[in-house]
Chains A and B, each alone.
Chain A
Amino acid sequence: MAETTDTTRKKSQVADINRSLYDFKMSEEGYERYADGLSTDIVRAISDKKDEPEWMLELRLKALAAYEEMEMPANWGPSIEMLDLNHISAYVSPKTKQASSWDDVPEDIKNTFERLGIPEAERESLAGVGAQYDSEIVYHNMREEVADQGVIYTTIEDALHDPELEPIVHEYFGTLIPMRDHKFAALHYAVWSGGSFVYVPEGVTLPYPLQSYFRLNAQGAGQFEHTLIIVEPGADLHFIEGCSAPKYYEANLHAGAVELFVKDHAKLRYSTIENWSKNMFNLNTKRATVGADSIMEWVSGSFGSHVSYLYPTTFLQGARSSCEFTGITFAGATQDLDTGCKVILNGPDTTASVDTKSISKDGGINTFRSSIVVGRRADRACATVSCASLMLDDISRSDTIPAMDVRNGSASVGHEATIGRISDDTILYLMSRGCSEGEARTMVVNGFADPVSKELPMEYAIEMNNLIKLEMEGAIG
């Protein structure tokens, strides 16, 4: 068959993500803003402001030293040359106290979260909400019936000031993500602020998800929230994380950390819809350790950021523990998103399933990077990785870099990857069944994203579809 020429082939048109919902700014007037850059004084000032225990200050100072000593890897990953920490403020906070009623939140901040739909979601489908604005949590609330079951959902700062919770934070904080894990993990520990502490007691199942929403409003600022979740044996939690920021013409930085402890016979689903603006460097670290007969599920939608390094990591430590990772990444113009996941199978009969999709257009760069490591003790471990990438034009780029390290003879590991465009045969088939070309292309791309959207709660699936806003139409390419 003769090749189709460039001038006649119909091309799919996918609209860029509609960011108007997120791209609005509020004045920083009256905000407390620390000087740009990093120093011991800034780290001490953050610690003083939070009136932290001595051990936390020591940890921060050690982390700062580690950050200054460590280098970014030179042989892989997107460039972050444009990120200059000397022009980033590590701490920006509105002059308000944390509220447990939206009525007590300052009007402009309340309006921000109203526009993002957070209070509405809280009323309709959430067990609790935490809302962070720049460096501090401004709103935190949880349904009474959930609190009555012994569930704790608060900020790390508040937990550190609670005599019963402080020892728990001390025991777990920073143990899953070592401060020397990478340069920006060290930075995180030096200047962390905000985030959530969640404790689900043994045997408790939350009927609705908890959600934390992170909004970075300030220009040239960093957000460094720390999320610490402990799911005790037999408990079950769905935690949702959302994040967004307005677009500026100078770099913003997000270097949060998420540490998840899933005990035996427990289940945790961690869903993320990330929609940072295109001036954001998203250097986030997420890690979970999973006990025997437990389940860790990640659902991840990455749509924003200028540069992303994001690889949620799961340690399957307990026998028969399992991990599912479902993710979609959409890279448009000026975006270089290096995303994926890591799974370390250490327990016997552990299973891992990774299913990712990526879409590149308008010069966007998508890199799927993963590692599956099967340890010596992981008898009969089983892992599968599937990644599919869709290229929507010839100026974009999509790479898949999956690594596997298997050290157990009884383990079974499978991997499959595909990269390509929408097949003409598929379009032809659908058109032969009565679809117009535009409908056919829309159907294919929607179907491509469907495995991820169906894993999200309905309202977030709708949000995701709105984000992608797959407006397909036939056009001469």
Chain B
Amino acid sequence: MATQIITADQTDTLALSHVNVPPAQTWNYLRINDIAFDVPTPHFVGDVYARLPQLFGKLECGIGDEAVSWMEHASGDARYVEVRASEPQTVYVDIDSSKTEVHDTGVLVRAGASATIVTCAHGEQGGTSSSLLRVIAERDARVSIVEIVACGEGQQHLDAIGIEAAEGARIEMRQYALGGAKVALGLCCNLAGASSRFVLDTRYLAVGSDVLDVNHVVRQRGRSTRADIVTTGILADAARKTMRETIDLIHGAKFAEGSEIETVLVTGDDVVNKTLPVILCDEEDVAGNHGASIGAISPEQLDFMRSRGLSEDEAERLFVRAMFDDAVIHANGAETRTAVLNRAETVLGADVARDMAEVLGFDTEEA
């Protein structure tokens, strides 16, 4: 597999000052327009590595050109997968964060083909890891993407995904951000073809002093395109989260519909929760909707749970467990499930992780 471990001296750093910049920015004093990362400077002298075909180079990845350029250089090598209609494929991208791995993957899903792509970043030790995934879905292609970030407390991780969907292509994606000291998730889906569709279900958990920074962008160019983004998250302790979601209804995208919904459960007193849900509309015959709900468990819900013998803390742990349960269920592959269960063990304890594996029937599985 084409994977390159960064060999740079970790003290030799490069500043990425504008990561996850949304298409439409707002007041700078809110500090919501971008995030900065210090990343290891890549050092590859004299080696020649593979690059993805040029058509992948034009894909926007949400995380920004500065970060994409760093990823391309830091990965050194790239992995290219072509999925044909006659051969449905599952593509795994396993990122061992403990080894500071950086991956650059391009998947071309040919017309009418089906592909499942699973990316999973995991590890406990410090350092910076990264994954750059670019997907081109040709006419009527079906693509399912599961993106899991289950890094440890000392880990910094950048994850970028760029997608282009041709006419009739359908992209379904589940995104789980379950841990990492400082994590950036950038995503851009370009619904270029008529009647193409993008469905994104994002779940995130940030605890301790985790920093989670997300930038979702959907460009709706084709007629009758549809985008549905649902985000559910839990923020605990002193976690900081910034969620930018942009639906861009571009001129010509007649009859397009875009919808984004975010629900955030805040359980910590020192949480910082920033949200920038943007709808850009340059076309008359479209519909764009956004809804957000941010809050704690309501007193009524707490009363109900207390009447069932659950304390507030237990109730909150149930919500967290439900998120891990969902991630385990949708983690396609034993290694990915193990990564999620390991992270669950760190957050919820070994007993809960073991119970999850048993209840879900994965207790006998070997990664």
**What CA separation (Å) do A393 and B284 show in the bound complex?**
6
* Closest 7 pairs between A and B when the two form their complex, measured CB to CB: A412-B295, A419-B288, A415-B292, A394-B284, A413-B294, A420-B287, A417-B290
A401/B284 in contact, CB under 8 A = no
Instruction: List residues of chain A with CB within 8 A of the CB of B277.
Output: 402, 415, 417
Query: Looking at chain A, what size class is its interface with the partner chain?
Result: 35 or more
| A351 nearest CB across to chain B (Å) | 13
Instruction: List residues of chain A with CB within 8 A of the CB of B284.
Output: 391-394, 396, 421
B24 contacts the other chain (CB 8 A): yes
Instruction: List residues of chain A with CB within 8 A of the CB of B268.
Output: 409
Instruction: List residues of chain A with CB within 8 A of the CB of B251.
Output: 394
**What CA separation (Å) do A417 and B291 show in the bound complex?**
7
**What CA separation (Å) do A371 and B285 show in the bound complex?**
28
| A338 nearest CB across to chain B (Å) | 10
Q: 27 A-B contacts, Cβ less than 8 Å apart?
A: A3-B223, A76-B24, A76-B27, A371-B26, A394-B251, A399-B280, A400-B279, A400-B290, A404-B275, A404-B276, A404-B294, A405-B30, A406-B266, A406-B272, A406-B274, A407-B271, A409-B267, A409-B268, A411-B266, A411-B295, A413-B292, A414-B292, A416-B292, A417-B288, A419-B286, A420-B288, A421-B286
Instruction: Show the binding face of B for A, using Cβ within 8 Å.
Output: 24-28, 30, 32-33, 223-224, 249, 251, 254-255, 266-296
**What CA separation (Å) do A75 and B25 show in the bound complex?**
6
A267 contacts the other chain (CB 8 A): no
A212 contacts the other chain (CB 8 A): no
A419/B294 in contact, CB under 8 A = no
A76/B224 in contact, CB under 8 A = no
From A393, A399, A407, A416, contact of B291 by CB (8 A) = A416
Q: Residue on B with the closest CB to A412?
A: B295
**What CA separation (Å) do A410 and B290 show in the bound complex?**
23
Known: A394-B283, A401-B276, A405-B272. A415 touches B290 (CB 8 A): yes
Instruction: List residues of chain B with CB within 8 A of the CB of A397.
Output: 281-282
Known: A75-B33, A397-B281. A406 touches B294 (CB 8 A): yes
From A6, A407, A408, A418, contact of B288 by CB (8 A) = A418
A475 contacts the other chain (CB 8 A): no
**What CA separation (Å) do A389 and B278 show in the bound complex?**
13
| A217 nearest CB across to chain B (Å) | 33
Instruction: List residues of chain A with CB within 8 A of the CB of B294.
Output: 404, 406, 411-414
Q: Residue on A with the closest CB to B294?
A: A413
A399/B278 in contact, CB under 8 A = yes
A75/B28 in contact, CB under 8 A = yes
| B17 nearest CB across to chain A (Å) | 13
Instruction: List residues of chain A with CB within 8 A of the CB of B271.
Output: 406-407, 409
A462 contacts the other chain (CB 8 A): no
Instruction: List residues of chain B with CB within 8 A of the CB of A399.
Output: 24, 278-281
A405/B281 in contact, CB under 8 A = no
**What CA separation (Å) do A75 and B31 show in the bound complex?**
13
A369 contacts the other chain (CB 8 A): yes
Q: Residue on B with the closest CB to A400?
A: B279
